[in-house]
Amino acid sequence: MVLAGRLGKLFPDPFLCSAYLAALAPSFHGGAHQGVELDLGSGLPAMKHVVDVWADWQTAPEFLREVADRSRRGRPLSPEMAAKAAYYGKLRALDLKPPTRIAVALRRIDARRGSAFFEVVFDRFDPAEQVFVRHTLLLEQFEFGAAGSIIERDGDYSRQTSALREKLEKYAGDDSEIAFLLMGKLDGVRVEEVTRGRIGPLWSPLARPPQGWPTGSPILHLPMDRASIGLDADRDDDPFSGIYRDCLSESVRSIVEEEARRMGYRVHKDRKFVCAAEHAPALRKKLEEAGTRNLVYTL
């Protein structure tokens, strides 16, 4: 279902996320994991299982070396050890990366403005929503010296700092508009765009949809929200999430609206879906009733 969603670079890596989920299947691990606890809100495995897969991937080489050494000495493997070795062998064949990671790329330098433009990609398995999330930020950093810079630059090379990781973990835990507002208040930083793409939730007989929405077959949600200075107007095509400013009291909303005008951004929200072909008509009918325009991919 993840691969059927036709996900672009603003979403979490679909192949990496699929690999993590596949590693938790009994057909893959052969009993190395004693069951999987699903988060009933997201319908996906709880975060601890994703972390376990990464930990197993890291420890697998040492275990496999010990198994190989044991075999060379003619010592038989117990059924449990043999099953674990088979699991670790398949696991190391996967091209896994840490569940939480940050990548920084220099886009261009403006000598006249004394600034550099960066793309920051922040991937993680969100501990609150229990879904895979990618935040992509387009930033301009005014280079007034190393002190206070959240991104360090050496010629055409750039690298993250502990300050950047701290700010991302603190500010990019929710809606893209909130991250835009908070990151935009950092000294020496101008935000151009923040995009949040997610894989999940997954509706199923275990993690059931809200009343009135189709049941009986899994439906995968692929939501995206973007706050950007390149947008002319707000647009909300997500039937399950409103624009942040619209959810505030009138007095607070007026303050945030003024900030939005000052910073020059607007917000777009969208959500794609993946489901079995026979359930697509019922889902499309509900989306039409909700008044939103959404893509529905089928298996």
Query: pLDDT value at position 247?
Result: 84
Residue 29 has pLDDT above 70, yes or no: yes
Query: pLDDT value at position 126?
Result: 95
* 76-80, 103-107, 283-287, range with the lowest pLDDT: 76-80
Under the banding of pLDDT at 50, 70 and 90, the label for residue 148 is low
Better-scored residue on pLDDT, 76 or 214:
214
Distance set, CA 268 to CA 13, 128, 185, 298 (Å)? 21, 22, 21, 24
CB 97 within 8 A of CB 134: no
Query: pLDDT value at position 119?
Result: 95
CB 70 within 8 A of CB 77: yes
- No. of helices (H) and no. of strands (E), the chain: 8, 11
d(CA 183, CA 95): 32
Tell me the per-residue pLDDT of 244-276, one tens digit each, with 9 for 90 and over.
888 888 888 888 889 899 999 999 999 999 999
Tell me the per-residue pLDDT of 203-243, one tens digit each, with 9 for 90 and over.
998 899 999 998 888 999 999 999 999 999 999 999 999 88
Sorted by where each begins, the domain ranges of the chain are: 24-92, 101-298
Query: pLDDT value at position 223?
Result: 98
Tell me the per-residue pLDDT of 167-196, one tens digit each, with 9 for 90 and over.
999 998 889 999 999 999 998 999 999 999
d(CA 65, CA 88): 11
Mean pLDDT of the region 113-123: 93
- Whole-prediction pTM value? 0.92
CB 227 within 8 A of CB 171: no
